[in-house]
Amino acid sequence: MTDRSAEHWYPTAAYLYVLHLDGPALAWEYLRRNPGYRLDWLRRRRRPDAAQEWGLRLLEDPALDARDAHPAWFPDHDAVVQLYPDADPPPKAHAFEFWRVPGRKQLIHDGKRLVLVSHWPGCCLRLALAPSLEDGMAYLYATRACATPCARYRTLAAELDALAVATV
């Protein structure tokens, strides 16, 4: 005989992962449930430009939840870090090492550039890689400027600190 006292928790437990999602991932959870978006996904071969109507660079499969989907938002959200080769690196500059970036990696090409999404417990980092950046090159990172940067920079600093700790 099976204990049915916990069955009412099953639907709730299936959604506990949303408590740890960032803003773009949470937005994806809402968008993927939109009937209009689902219809555009089914018609994506006939309407390749439909993604921009939804604020995306490319349409993403709505069957994927935020843990597996990595929609390329247009424009990039604040947490995307852009990496460029350093044209004038100081001595002993840090080099970009793809395989030393911690976590589960996913590369996404949106028709314009390559984005590396790295997931590890408690963190998700999106890195937009410049076309000229190669493994082993000294690099710079950039973030989009804004009118009130303090909160964004603190968030970015915390993510980069987590990346540094995870890399060591």
pLDDT tens digits, 60-118: 999 998 888 878 777 766 678 889 999 999 999 989 999 988 888 888 887 778 988 88
Q: Which pLDDT belongs to residue 141?
A: 85
35 to each of 19, 42, 51, how far by Cα in Å? Answer: 24, 11, 14
For residue 153, pLDDT over 80 is answered with no
* Same-domain check for residues 136 and 146: yes
Last residue of a domain, one of 49, 74, 99: 74
Boundaries of domain holding 168: 75-168
Chain-centroid distance of CA 139 in Å reads 20
Query: What percentage of the chain reaches a pLDDT higher than 70?
Result: 79
Q: Are residues 79 and 60 in the same domain?
A: no
Asked if residue 36 and residue 97 are part of one domain, the reply reads no
> Is 115 found in the same domain as 162?
yes
Looking at residue 119, its pLDDT comes to 76
Whether residue 96 sits in one domain with residue 62: no
Tokens of 71: 């929609």
Is 16 in the same domain as 70? yes
Q: How many domains are contained in the chain?
A: 2
What token pair was written down for 28? Answer: 């994806």
Q: Are 87 and 153 found together in one domain?
A: yes
Q: Are residues 81 and 154 in the same domain?
A: yes
Does 163 share its domain with 150?
yes
Tell me the pairing of strands 80-85 and 123-129: parallel
Q: Is the pLDDT of residue 10 over 60?
A: no
Of 42, 74, 106, the last residue of a domain is 74
User: Which of 74, 91, 117 is the C-terminal boundary of a domain?
Assistant: 74
Query: Do 12 and 60 fall into the same domain?
Result: yes
* Single-letter amino acid code for the residue at 125: L
- Reading the block at residue 41, the tokens are 């996904």
Taking the CA atoms of 56, 59, 65 and 70 in sequence, report the sign of the dihedral they define. negative
Res. 17: pLDDT tops 80: no
Give the DSSP per-residue string, 26-75. Answer: HHHHHHTT-HHHHHHHHTTTT-TTHHHHTTBSS---TTS-TTT----BSS
Same domain for 67 and 87, yes or no, is no
**pLDDT value for 84:** 93
Query: Mean pLDDT lowest for which of 26-35, 92-101, 123-132?
Result: 123-132
Same domain, 68 and 88: no
